[in-house]
Amino acid sequence: MSLSVTLTINRVPRTVELDDPRVTLLDLLRERLDLTGTKKGCDRGQCGACTVLLNGRRVNACLALAISHDGAEILTIEGLAESGVLHPVQAAFIAHDALQCGFCTPGQIMSAIGLIGEGQAGDDPERVREGMSGNLCRCGAYRGITEAVIEATHDMTVTTTREEAA
């Protein structure tokens, strides 16, 4: 029995036939749609390497069944940069050396964007660390990650304020 799921992935509507209702969003993205930026880490929802935005909220794609999110909007690391311009969080990660091996970076960036969008970031390093605690970095780039999230929060707030004033 084949099931159909329609998702908007990185602003592009996609309909995919699923042979198995147990296919996770992570496996759909990586194996069926060749969006390999979202990483498979622990496959148990404990490391955050598979973090994507689902309807604007951060989720561990390894724990989300694709069929359960029919009609949802998914944003992955591949969908962030627009017209060759990095997202402010991506730029801040580079500026603050918030990556070493890079394996956790896509999930860290997606989680940071979700955290900022939820209004849970701000200028308090402890608050940022707590908000990002579901994403593990085996290389220990936590200081740079925290600094990048704080900078991006500020940059995104200033940009939003300017856009609202215009």
pLDDT tens-digit readout, 77-132: 999 999 999 999 999 999 999 999 999 999 999 999 999 999 988 889 999 999 99
The pair of three-digit structure tokens given for residue 37, joined into one six-digit string: 């930026």
Percent of residues, the chain, with pLDDT higher than 70: 95
Residue 21 phi/psi, 5° resolution?
-70, -10
Within the chain, what is the greatest distance between any pair of CA atoms? Answer: 53
Query: Stretch 7-34: mean pLDDT, rounded?
Result: 97
Residue ending a domain, among 47, 79, 111, is: 79
Number of structural domains found in the chain: 2
Per-residue confidence (pLDDT) for residue 38, from 0 to 100:
97
Mark whether 96 and 160 lie in a shared domain. Answer: yes
CB atoms within 10 A of CB 34: 8
Mark whether 71 and 99 lie in a shared domain. Answer: no
Query: pLDDT digit string (tens) for 141-162?
Result: 999 999 999 999 998 876 655 5
**Bridge partners of 6?**
15
Mark whether 74 and 105 lie in a shared domain. Answer: no
**Bridge partners of 85?**
82
Mark whether 58 and 93 lie in a shared domain. Answer: no
Question: Can you give the residue range of the structural domain that contains 154?
Answer: 88-165
